[in-house]
Amino acid sequence: MNDSLYIAATGMHMQQKGVDTIANNLANVNTPGFKRGRVTFEDLVYRDLSGAPASLDSGSAPRLLQGSGVGLASIFKSFAAGELQKTDGPLDLAIQGDGFLEVVGADGAPAFTRGGGMMVDKDGFLASAGGLPLKPAIHIGLDAKQITIKPDGHVLVRTTDQGDALDVGRIDLVHFTDSSGLAALGANLYKTSDRSGDAIVGHPGEDGVGTLAQGFVEASNVNLVEEMVNLMVAQRAYESSVKVIQASDEMLAMSNNLRK
């Protein structure tokens, strides 16, 4: 088999993976809190064409090595901060700086989010927009008249028009050794992986952890211009691989027609 056919096919397949990732980024350009994905490639295993063992003799002929194409190294999230958009919603919450909110997933396992729209669930606890309660749990109550979330995470609740606001708890933030290694779950939720390491709990504004901004949501960090440029580059690379396959096919056809 002509190796160039297989090598070019790996290039087409990987460029399609890149286009898929770019398409997902562009589709979520207006999704609050969305973090863009990025694909990295790696060259595949090399084989020795000379058939000769390696030699320390500097006068011997150099080994002939040929690569086997391109493979997928990783698809990871870029957690560069998105622009903060002011909403003035009392339950809209954004994180300025490093950190994630921890919530309890539907299966009871911990999940992590960069914030966004919050809500008070049917039991009066502060929860994510999807109804997942925060950890640690913070009871707001169903009769709250005013909710104030301080930059340092303290939550103050006023239940009457004239009463004093009560401190009902403090929102913690978590961070990771390598946040780009978090595994995406959808709905702007993430879970830990071997690469990200375990969650490290901290208070907002302390030990390098970011602060909270009430009345704001974090916009997507997708850059339209950058994504469109990446799309054109991927398309041209795909076309180049197609040209290689066409040229290899024509050369094979010439070889098959030598006896005619």
Contact 155, 149 (CB under 8 A): yes
pLDDT band at 101 (very low <50, low <70, confident <90, very high): very high
What mean pLDDT is predicted for residues 80-93? 92
pLDDT at 51: 60
pLDDT surpasses 70 at 62? no
Pull the structure tokens for residue 65.
């090595």
Higher-scoring residue by pLDDT: 27, 68? 27
The span from the CA of 96 to the CA of 102, in Å, is 16
Q: Nearest to residue 151, comparing CAs of 90, 210, 87?
A: 210
Could you give phi then psi for residue 17, rounded to 5 degrees?
-60, -40
What percent of the chain stands above pLDDT 70?
91
pLDDT surpasses 70 at 60? no
Single-letter code of the amino acid located at 53: P
Contact 129, 116 (CB under 8 A): yes
